Amino acid sequence: MQANTVKSRTRKTRRSTDTGKGKPRTFSAPASAPLVPECDRPTPGHYTAQAIDHAFKANLARLTLGISPAGLATSYFNWFSHLALSPGKHMELVEKAARKAARIMIHAGTAGMNAEAPPCIEPLPQDRRFSGEAWKQWPFNMISQSFLLTQQWWHNATTEIDGLSKEDEHAVSFMARQMLDRYAPSNMLWANPEALKATAAQGGANLMRGAMHMADDWQRTIAGKKPSGADAFQVGRDVGVTPGKVIYRNHLIELIQYEPTTKQVFREPVLIVPAWIMKYYILDLSPHNSLVKYLVEQGHTVFMISWRNPTSEDRDLGMDDYRELGVMDALDAVSAIIPDTQVHAVGYCLGGTLLSIAAAAMARDGDDRLKSISTFATQVDFTEAGELMLFIRESEVAYLENMMWDQGVLDGYQMAGAFQMLRTNDLVWSRMVHDYMLGERQEMNDLMAWNADLTRMPYRMHSEYLRSLFLDNDLASGRFTVGERPINLADIRAPIFAVGTVKDHVAPWRSVHKITFHPATDVTFLLTSGGHNAGIVSEPGHPRRSYQVATKKAGERYIDPDTWMAEAPSKDGSWWPEWQAWLAGQSTEDAALPAMGAPDKGYAPLCDAPGTYVLQQ
């Protein structure tokens, strides 16, 4: 522990002289760079042209939600040209179209004679648009069945084309699905039997309410206000209410230490690193589903990082600033308040990726302050990052960088738009039908209110994140550098507990599972029901929750995700007790209650939780 004390003292000296703001980097050509002929050197006109391109693309990106038209056009051209050169595929598509036409005609005759006739095509399990009884009545059964057959045909038309890259195939298939979902019969008043029934029964009152809802939503969006009903969940009053103190603050974080509720606590404290793409209080929602409150009640001393919501002035904050001012400064504070003991580090989503980077750098440098590492919905290998990769190709990243270059940050609404495109049926079109056609407001809950509490991301950090991790996969490949030296996840020796969620569209569980073949340590992988957020907020007593869990010991053979799912035992209920039992097993004897902060070491309580940064808009 003496070496760690020296490290902390060195870092504290750096922190005391730091202004707290990210320092812009300057780049220059190396001294040995070859001379450029004068005729080929950039002219003032060259830089003017670049500025014009940046400004034009930045403004265009605001209209297209950061999606590059050039990237889409390239994918569509590649699809069309490869399809044009595939006569066998033409024959197959013509045959499939004829067979589907015959199926719908036969079904029409069968359904006309027997109202209980089974459908000729079933929707996908996650597609609930046509599940109501009204969709089984003529002519709406024929409309929905025709749409599903058309959707299936377009899937065939955009996949398995000889010579077409998987990236272009996924992009074209995704956009075709988006267009079909936009014009689905469930979104049309005249073709939606449930909306027509409500309109007839209420004399159009539902449409009047829907118009009012639409106008209210539009006004809130233009004014930058939260959605209707979100004001019922105020941070510090309704959510984020677990008692605690902010015991440290720098330009990027506030560190919260929560008050104990037990007479004794486990010796090792827990430090949680949430993602800065979201507000921290998803892990401290209402008292009944707060992970922080649950841990405190089990006898853990809990610290939480609360990230600052950056502005355009923070444009030059990079990934290493988030590691230094975030994880490392917080770890220094925890080590000062509870000295001579190791720390259980926990990371959620992007926070887990940053924690993994910090842990690998610490392992490389001989810093052994981490007792264990837990990651929730976290990716460290981005080769299979799911449909999110459709927005993170070179064309898209360069286009997005122009928008961020102009603004200095990526705005939360722009980020939310990209995530909504991954689940348009659930997040866009179903809401339009429910709120605007049926005229019914969906009741707001704490998780939905949190999801609407948007944050921003600095230009430099987000660009580095997209390029180094998503595009180049540097972390998993051993090329990611910290302190101008590469780090390797295989250097980590602290045991790892990784959680993935079955329906995660942001960090697909098979991608999260890749943590099992990187570090040379024990890795416990747990797969829980639910999605990226709801699967993590899974308190004991939550209905319809289940999970699978298994541990891979250091040195054991790798098990692929599908085999793992087939072999790992299943359990009913919340995964929280399983993880807490693992944490307790990694902890030592009970200890006396720690003091709140350490004023004599520069960590005096500054204010009550939830602090000030979480309230920034």
Q: Which residues are catalytic?
A: 349
Taking the C-alpha atoms of residue 312 and residue 411, their distance in angstroms, rounded to an integer, is 10
Map residue 348 onto helix, strand or coil: strand
Q: Are 329 and 251 in contact (CB under 8 A)?
A: no
Taking the C-alpha atoms of residue 388 and residue 216, their distance in angstroms, rounded to an integer, is 30
* 170: enclosing H helix or E strand: helix 166-182
Q: Residue 344 to residues 368, 451, 528: CA-CA distances in angstroms?
A: 12, 27, 21
Residue 228 CA to its chain's centroid (Å): 23
- 423 residue type, one letter: R
- 173 residue type, one letter: S
Q: Are 239 and 311 in contact (CB under 8 A)?
A: no
Residues 104/109/113/117 CA torsion (nearest 10 deg): -20
Beta bridge partners, 266, equal 590
Count of Cβ atoms closer than 10 Å to residue 134 Cβ: 14
| Residues 27-59: b if buried by 16+ CB within 10 A, e if exposed | eeeeeeeeeeeeeeeeeeeeeeeeeeeeeebbe
| Nearest C-alpha neighbor of 584 from the set 497, 467, 510, 508 | 497
| Residue 30 tokens, joined | 């190396």
What's the angle, vertex CA 574, arms to CA 570 and CA 576, rounded to 5? 110
